[in-house]
Structure 1
Amino acid sequence: MLTGLSAFPLTPMNEQAIDEAAFIGLVERLAAAGVDSMGVLGSTGNYAYLTRVERARIARLAVAHAGDVPVIIGISALRTRDVLALAEDAEAAGASAVLLAPMSYQPLSDEEVFGLYKAVTARFSVPLCVYDNPGTTRFQFSDELHGRIAQLPRVASIKIPGVPAEPAAARERVERLRALIPPDVTIGVSGDAMAAMGLNAGCDAWYSVIGGLFPKTALAICRAAQAGQADEAMRLSQRLEPLWTLFRQHGGGLRVVATASELLGLAEPPSLPLPLKVLEGQHRQALGFLLEELGLS
């Protein structure tokens, strides 16, 4: 299940409420495009800014409107107690899998992170994806720690933050990790600009920000790589380099995707929780021109 394109939609919201209609529209857009799975309440889904009640509501809406597409639900929180409660809510909502990052305020040790995953996998029956996202969590997984965690029951995938830009180095990085994990645990690449390289290097899945808004565009890259058309996958990705540049300029894909959702009428402004802000002024205008030029879908 945790292979191919896993698309991560925005959770549009303002200071009063979640924009449920917009969220449902995004979920149904992904289901209609035929993505392999969708991941809600990840970083693009603004999970850290929502209450438990709000997160449970989003989980139920996603499952209800995803059709036959498996739904991965984020359960990350600062305390193990809260992670367990969120996992219970996700399972009750009908999650096909859960996604867990080691969130912290105090820096975490390897043993503390291992203990988190051990506690969660001991309590619940759905597959779990390890969310390795040092850009937000500031926690650096070693391959050895990934190997230990991957031996736990129900660990089904590892979401790595990217691969080297050189093909041989990218393949070596994926093979080094694969040698330490069970054969049934998949490796998924994130960091959209590196997705084609990661898939060509042997990653099984692409956990995608851009796929959450433009699933057909992301599917074209993913399917080319899956078919062994490495050059075509790279060509399609490199065509989006102006978009990847915007991601890098604005701290990742969230602000760009939220702004694009507003520009396309898929979410009402404002679509991010304060203090986060979408792109404004000339940056917003430039993104509008870029979306028109690239013709993403």
Structure 2
Amino acid sequence: MPPRLTGLSAFPITPASPEGTVDAPTLRRLVARLAAAPVDSIGLLGSTGTYAYLARQERLRALEAAVEEVAGRVPILVGVGALRTDEAIALARDANAAGASAGLLAAVSYTPLTEDEVFDHFVAVAEGSGLPLCIYDNPGTTHFRFTPALVGRLSRVPGIVALKSPSPAPSEAAAHLDTLRRAVPDGFPLGYSVDWHAAEALIAGGDAWYGVAAGLFPDSCAEIVAAARSGRADEARRLNGRLEPLWALFREFSSLRVIYAAAEALGLCATAPPRPIQPLSVETRRRVVATLREIGLA
């Protein structure tokens, strides 16, 4: 039975050496915190988990460590994106064999892809791996945007079980969700990323929040999800507003760089993002620490 991907999905970083060797013990500690929170799923090796910068064997090692640590308590959604279809199939097979609950598949590209090419890619990975797949719409990195029509086609493919979509501007959240609902079968989970807009997407009726901040601050993010899902829109907005200083840092410096600095500030791990991405400056890291203290997260 494929997992139903709803609620809060927390995306941790993947601690690794400068050479791309995963620090499995530290990763286990990060996912243990999330399983204990608890969150509804763990999004391993997403963009925050820098999947694109890791070799296949390191991606598998990270997944095996997380699966062993979580021991079935929380579903693990794992990134299986790759430039080549055969590589994505191999990664999805690895994930299936290692015990992942589902795969997160992006339309990774160098040459721009057509909708038919992306559709065929997803069908091949679903059929070739047996791993349930979540559509990962991440145009900021892949430069491909899933149209509602393509999402509708894919949602009817056996083994494709959910959508992770970037949250639109708050004023557009309800209309965006309504358009997607019309395209997919009843009950197909529609979830959102982009942390600073996710609260409005949840209030509009989105099924899941795929959160970067949730990878370090699951309790604060879970409060927003609970408020939105219980119809307490004003409370969800208030809780989200409390995190606005963090969202401002995400927008200014990127959530990836900020969350690495936050993990270090919390004493959870001292690791840098993979080069050529560089850590924040000392001065900016001080701003991150001050912000976390200001909003009660450190």
Look up the SS of the partner of 2:135 in the other structure: strand
Q: Which residue of 1 aligns with 2:239?
A: 236
Q: Which residue of 1 aligns with 2:198?
A: 195
TM-aligned CA deviation for residue 14 of structure 1: 2.3
- Which amino acid counterpart does residue 109 of structure 2 have in structure 1? S
After TM superposition, the runs of 4+ consecutive aligned structure 1 residues lying more than 3 A away are none
Confirm or deny that 1:21 pairs with 2:22: no
Q: TM-score scaled to structure 1, two decimals? A: 0.96
Look up the SS of the partner of 2:170 in the other structure: coil
**CA displacement 1:144-182 (0-9 Å, x = unmatched):** 11111111111111111112322xx31121011111101
**CA displacement 1:265-287 (0-9 Å, x = unmatched):** 1112x321111122112211111
Residue 24 of structure 2 contacts residue 61 of structure 2 at CA under 8 Å; is this kept in 1? no
The percentage of counterpart residues that share the same residue type is 48
Name which of 113, 120, 125 aligns with 2:125: 120
Confirm or deny that 1:97 pairs with 2:93: no
Q: Which residue of 1 aligns with 2:281?
A: 280
Q: Which residue of 1 aligns with 2:51?
A: 47
RMSD: 1.1
In 2, distance between residues paired with 1:22 and 1:229? 36
In 2, distance between residues paired with 1:259 and 1:221? 23
- Which amino acid counterpart does residue 27 of structure 2 have in structure 1? F
In 1, distance between residues paired with 2:25 and 2:227? 33
Q: How many residues align?
A: 293
- Which amino acid counterpart does residue 184 of structure 2 have in structure 1? I
Q: Which residue of 2 aligns with 1:142?
A: 147
Superposed counterparts of 1:1-297, under 5 Å: 1-16=4-19, 17-67=21-71, 68-166=73-171, 169-250=172-253, 252-268=254-270, 270-296=271-297
Q: Which moved more, 1:73-82 or 1:58-67?
A: 58-67
Residue 14 of structure 1 contacts residue 272 of structure 1 at CA under 8 Å; is this kept in 2? no
- Which amino acid counterpart does residue 120 of structure 1 have in structure 2? V
In 1, distance between residues paired with 2:220 and 2:180? 28
Gapped regions of structure 1 (runs ≥ 5): none
Look up the SS of the partner of 1:179 in the other structure: helix
